[in-house]
Amino acid sequence: MLIVGSPVSPYVRKILAILHLKNIDYELDPITPFYGNDEFSELSPLRRIPVLIDGDLVVNDSTVIAEYLDEAYPEVPVLPKGARQRAQARWIEEYADSRLGDLCIWGLFFPKIVAPFVFRRTPDEEAIAKVTDTELPIALDWLEARAPAKGFLFGDMVSVADLATACPLRNAAIAGWTPGPARWPKVAAWLARIAAQPCYARTIDFEPAILATRPEGRRAALEAVGVKVAETSFGTDDPRASIMLR
């Protein structure tokens, strides 16, 4: 099984955590976020990461990939039982992928981390303040009303909804914003419980290999933390070849 996509994408991080939780062996093609070659367009017509390649099957979109992994490898499930609980899990995943993704990636991580270093663009501090002072607090209030007092959203199991929520907030944390425990005590404690799960913690170990390593050293750095790096690459250094994150 091959995963194409950088582990600093929240959507890739979600899928890697699920693979770890399900104990599925995989190779990673850690293409630079925002770049992909022409073959990548064939693979991913919306130019999103991650892409999963399982034999001759190509699966796009992290939500679809998570559903596929849960059906093809059901031993450790990431969706709860029962149509109603599954609908709630899927909706919280969608909320996190869409709303938290927009705010944490396009509102914070991209302007504060990617744009200055990759594109030499100065961040728009007013736009960033709107995200941290108004928009993220509204989203976090919504989450606080739904956060579990103990364990995870659906009891003891770590679900795709728990992981999907933690992953974009990790990118916000890299960009310097975390939900304060005074205003959001249940969310802060819940995120800490998710962060302590080995399936998720392992994805955090991959980050320095991308964020603190020059492009030519990244594959070796990933191998040094135990990642099986794919020989093939769908990446490119052509900055015109921008890809979406999800």
**Residues of this chain that bind its own copies (CB under 8 A):** 45-46, 57, 59-61, 63-65, 67-68, 71-72, 83-84, 86-87, 90-91, 94-95, 98-99, 142
Question: CB-wise, 187 or 222, nearer to its own copies?
Answer: 187
The CB-of-71 to its own copies minimum distance in angstroms stands at: 4
Residues 200 and 17 sit within 8 Å (Cβ to Cβ): yes
Question: CB-wise, 23 or 223, nearer to its own copies?
Answer: 23
Going by the DSSP 8-state scheme, the letter that residue 98 receives in this structure is I
The CB-of-43 to its own copies minimum distance in angstroms stands at: 12
SS3 content of the chain, % helix, strand, coil (to 5): 55, 10, 40
The CB-of-65 to its own copies minimum distance in angstroms stands at: 8
Q: Return the exposure string of 40-65: e unless at least 16 CB atoms fall within 10 Å of the residue's CB, then b.
A: beebbeebbbbbbbbeeeebbbbbeb
The CB-of-221 to its own copies minimum distance in angstroms stands at: 31
SS3 of 243, please?
A: coil
Which distant-in-sequence residues (6+ apart) come within 8 Å of 50 by Cβ?
A: 3, 4, 5, 9, 11, 12, 15, 62, 65
Question: CB-wise, 46 or 220, nearer to its own copies?
Answer: 46
Question: CB-wise, 103 or 167, nearer to its own copies?
Answer: 103
